[in-house]
Amino acid sequence: MYLRQAVALLMDDSWGNSISMVSIDRLRWNWRGTMPDDRNVERALRLRSELHQLLAQNPNHFGNLKDTKFAAQLEIVHDTIFEEVSCVGFNPDTDVLEATIQVKRANGYGGDLCSPGSTEWVRFYLSYDDGATWEDVGLGSFKAHDVPDSVDCHKDRTKPLIYTVAFPLNDQKRRRCTSPVLPLVRAILSWQLQPPAGQPNWNPIWGNALDRHIQLRPTRRIFHDFIEDFDIDLKKIPDWWETVLPLPIPEPDPAPFSIAAAAKVARADKVPAHRFATPMLAAAQKVGFQDQSFLLAQSDELSSLKIDLTEIVGAFNNDKGDTAYEQINCLGLDYNRDLLVSTLQIKQSSGFSGPPCSAGSVEYVAFWVDYDNTCDWTYLDTAKVVVHDYAKLPADGLNYWVGVPAQTAKHATSCKEPKVGRIRAVLSWGTPPSSTDPFDLPRWGNAVETHIEIPSRRRPPTDTPEIRALGRIPVESIDTTTTGLTTSGAVFVEFGSPADSLGRPCPFGGVVTVHAYANDAFAAAGRQYRAMWRPAGSSSSGSPVTGDFVTGFWPVVTRTPDPVTGYTPYLPTALNPFGQLAAWQTRGVVVDGLYEIRLEMVDAALNPIGVTDWHTLRVDNTKPDADITFTSGTACNKANPGDVVQGTFTATDPYFGSYSLVTLPASLSPPNPTHTPVSTTSPVSSGTWQLVTDGNWPMCGYVVQLHVYDRSIVDSVPWSKNYGYDDVGFCLGL
């Protein structure tokens, strides 16, 4: 019976194309032996609407928690009938992770587009030892709403709707290209409940977890590496070289395609000729190609390599859409960043023109859209990522994402009129896919079509400037008139990451970015803008922000405002899709306190056009107070195995975030101290800590570290805070 129901469910495309048998097994288990028929769906809808009330009465009502005194009332864990994470990828050029989420049903998401809806949370983890240990990367999210079921002009159902969530990867363990780093990423999707930090095995109620391998961008070689590689005596290096040793070595342009070089690399791994010769074969058959002398030369070169031109041309043209080496698995809309995102999988260890230290080869993805349901496709752009051969490829391959600006704003409608668009991505290895024919399938690659919600965002202003976000926090989530702090529920505009996990108000520090709604007409008309700042309450006209900045994580365009006036020309949205217009450096420039910032717009002749209101921000660049002492043992901080080692600590800040106590050396795996008070999210003016040692503790020197963080949004990124540190050491049995 279950098999028939599973097959029927798989044949019903309203559930999407990527529900696996694993999902079927989970649904069967979650719903105690029954599939999600209408009665069970209605029950699930009721439970979702009562989620917070039920958890307030019993935190383990749904049975997703382990090692708790609360007994489960239901068993609903990893349920994917409403939403599911189906892909995870990484873009080495931008150092950003992306997870793809299917929203499968018409309701159950907290209301229509005019309501607050509900939140789909995704927490990312990274493992460098294939899942033995995990590092918490961060938390992203997007808003989901009830969107009615419909069919498009092709008579295809528009569910599931596909979204993606991004989070930038900070503090990577990158190495040189000779030692590639291929870590495992875990994405945990959870509806309405934030996956807790530092718990990679946490079970969501509605949602799921997905693990995928990625490839980190190698570090660039520096001149010091060159000295080491050739075993040059540093004493023989002139003193003036010390200034250039840390600098990166300029990378040469990629060498032009060579069939001889490609054959040398490919034959060692038994890659067929019609694969490694793809760039040459595609160019030779390109419409309009008429250079017969070039064809003769290529034929001669192939003959010298003992390759039959007729045979490989036949093999090349014998098939299209071959996914033996690479494949698009997911396609969706990054709602926060207005990007179309395609996730592709590298499936073979070879066939990509060389190892990581070589030029490798290129995977191209062309994006097409039908936002207005006309059954006519519009070409947007083509994105690319460089890939390589790897001696040891993980079983799930390597997973990348590429994206292009979605440009949905001009197609947006009112929240009272939900709008669904159809998108298409075409993958091609070695040669760019067609930009004129969406159905021209390449030899190597595939095409995927999905449906997305066209966000009901407001259209960009047409006449005057308008600030969208400060420090990457939307201005509507900042009290810009009084306190200058974030309000409850504030999230980063590009990632959906909470400004503070507990919803507490946050100040700003470091570099405060200014994002604004922009219009391509501004750039076309030669308009310019500048950001101005002043102390709060001042009557001055303000000082211009003149520091260099880049427009975002992707694409990266460096901007240099006029050093005197601060004016900067507007860029087209294709070059600045996230609308970053300025970066105000507060550290070392202003003292902590309240400040105001605004935008001013001028025409090409620098005639004033308009200004925004002054927006109040509280600046805090002061690190928290951190102090730890040792109060037991001898005056020289000595203790004996079996002693209870004790001390005191202080962790305070006007905008306190959290603290932690850690015992080193990590190589000995000592326990971390217990402490009073127990809470780590409240300031401590007079706390105590202790470590209970025993005879199993190695006689050694130990260090207890105190790490203290405030809530300040430093440098406009989710992971950076003002940081205080102190430590104390003791000797055990020495």
Tokens of 639: 């203790």
Question: How far does Cα 628 stand from its chain's mean position?
Answer: 36
Q: What share of the chain is helix, strand, coil (3-state, %, to 5)?
A: 15, 35, 50
Give the Cα separation of 166 and 88 in Å (integer): 10
- With b meaning 16 or more CB within 10 Å and e meaning fewer, what string describes 565-602? ebbbebbebeebbbbbbbbbbbeeeeeeebbbbbbbbb
Query: What pLDDT, on the 0 to 100 scale, is given for residue 310?
Result: 87
Taking phi over 0 as left and psi of -120 to 50 as alpha, with beta for the rest, 386 belongs to: beta
What SS3 class is residue 302?
A: helix
Query: What pLDDT, on the 0 to 100 scale, is given for residue 611?
Result: 97
Separation in Å, CA 324 to CA 64, 271, 277, 319:
39, 12, 16, 12
Q: How long a stretch of residues is the chain? A: 734
**What pTM did the predictor assign?**
0.89
Q: For 508, what's the count of Cα atoms within 13 Å in the CB-facing half-sphere?
A: 36
32-62 pLDDT, tens digit per residue, is 334 467 788 999 999 999 999 999 999 999 9
Asked if residue 679 lies in contact with residue 661, where contact means CB atoms within 8 angstroms, the answer is no
Asked if residue 183 lies in contact with residue 132, where contact means CB atoms within 8 angstroms, the answer is no
194-253 pLDDT, tens digit per residue, is 999 999 999 999 999 999 999 999 987 665 566 666 677 766 666 656 565 566 666 666
What does pLDDT average to in each consecutive run of 10 residues of the chain (734 residues)?
38 37 32 58 96 98 96 96 98 96 98 97 98 97 98 97 97 84 98 97 98 93 62 67 61 72 84 92 74 74 86 92 98 97 98 93 98 98 97 97 94 95 98 97 98 88 90 98 98 97 98 91 95 98 96 82 98 89 97 98 97 98 98 86 96 98 96 97 98 94 98 97 98 88
Asked if residue 35 lies in contact with residue 19, where contact means CB atoms within 8 angstroms, the answer is no
User: What residue has token string 């390109």?
Assistant: 286
Tokens of 410: 């001009």
Give the Cα separation of 538 and 656 in Å (integer): 28
Query: What pLDDT, on the 0 to 100 scale, is given for residue 262?
Result: 86
Asked if residue 450 lies in contact with residue 694, where contact means CB atoms within 8 angstroms, the answer is no
Taking phi over 0 as left and psi of -120 to 50 as alpha, with beta for the rest, 442 belongs to: beta
Residues 6+ apart with CB under 8 A from 324: 347, 348
What is residue 240's DSSP assignment? Answer: G
663 φ, ψ to 5°? -105, 135
Give the Cα separation of 490 and 202 in Å (integer): 24
Asked if residue 565 lies in contact with residue 504, where contact means CB atoms within 8 angstroms, the answer is no
